Amino acid sequence: MTNTLHRYGDPDTLKNDYIVFAIATRKRNDENSVEKFKTFLRLAAQHNPVNMGDATKGGMYQPSKSLTPIVHWHREDPVRIQEVIEGIDKPTTAAAVFDNLQAVKEFLEDLKKADLGLSINISALTDDANRCCKEVGITRHSVEYSLGFRGALDKLPDKQVLEITTMCGHGMISAHFAKKMIDWVREGRRTPEEATRYMARFCSCGVFNPVRAKQLLEQVCRPKVGGK
């Protein structure tokens, strides 16, 4: 699973996108790990994550299967932090998404103290992650670099759409839907925040970054100076 490896964007647009996740190794340290995953997410919740999730159950933003027509005028959309934590009932990959490096640093300090024994990874700009490790007194063990896309690149959507859709690396957020949301925001039919929420519900493991998505939508719809 490389679902957070290839998030598309220039380094400047990835400065508010940090995913910290915990994973166990089958038959090596996954036994009795449920409470450790819950602890991981409880600690994460103390540092204002913008999303959190369990790979088998979903994230803070989830679809609802029993809506009533009132939803088209007024939509209740609770952010399910406690449900995500309490929902873990077997070994999984638990992830927390942050929009700033300081929060990641503080979370890592907590994780160091907790010493869960699970594998902990940061998916982000590698220089930022390395700096964060050094500041917390951690020597990074291994690194995986994204070398981007090749092949039939003509099949890819445009840059703005890719920046949004690759935040669900599993591909659950369709390029057609992201384009529709960009158009709706541009036409004033929905706010960037509403459009972001629609898309976040499709991410099935909670690694979608709604803060970055909202900012990207706002940029797409901002008038360009000098017609550039």
Partner 1 sequence: MKIDKAKCVGCGNCTYVCPMGAIYLDPADHRATIDADACVECYTCYRGMSTEHLYPPLIRGIRKLLSFFRLRFEPEPDVCPTAAFVPDDLQWPRIVRRAFSDPQVPHESTGIHGRGTEEVKTNDVTNRVKQGEAGFVVEFGRPGVGARFYDIQKMTMALARLGVVFEPNNPVTHLMNNPKTGEIRKDILNEKVLSAIVEFKANLTEVPVLLNEIEEVSKQVDTVVSLGVSTRCDENGDNPLEELLQKQGYRFWRGKTNLGMGRALT
How far is 97 from 32, CA to CA, in rounded Å?
Answer: 25
Tokens 């390029």, residue? Answer: 175
What is the smallest separation between the CB atom of 202 and partner 1, expressed in angstroms?
Answer: 4
Amino acid making up residue 62: Q
Pick between residue 148 and residue 227 the one whose CB is nearest to partner 1.
Answer: 148
Cβ closest to partner 1, residue 127 vs residue 228: 127
**Region of residue 34 (phi > 0: left; psi between -120 and 50: alpha; otherwise: beta):** alpha
Smallest gap, in angstroms, from Cβ of residue 208 to partner 1? Answer: 12
* Cβ 91 to partner 1 shortest distance, Å: 9
Comparing CB distances to partner 1, the nearer of 85 and 95 is: 95
Euclidean distance between CA atoms 54 and 102, whole angstroms: 23
Least Cα distance to 214 among 174, 163, 173 occurs for: 163
Residue (of 84, 55, 70, 79) closest to 196 by Cα position: 79
Nearer to partner 1 by Cβ, of 81 and 175: the residue is 175
CB of 159 to partner 1, least distance (A): 12
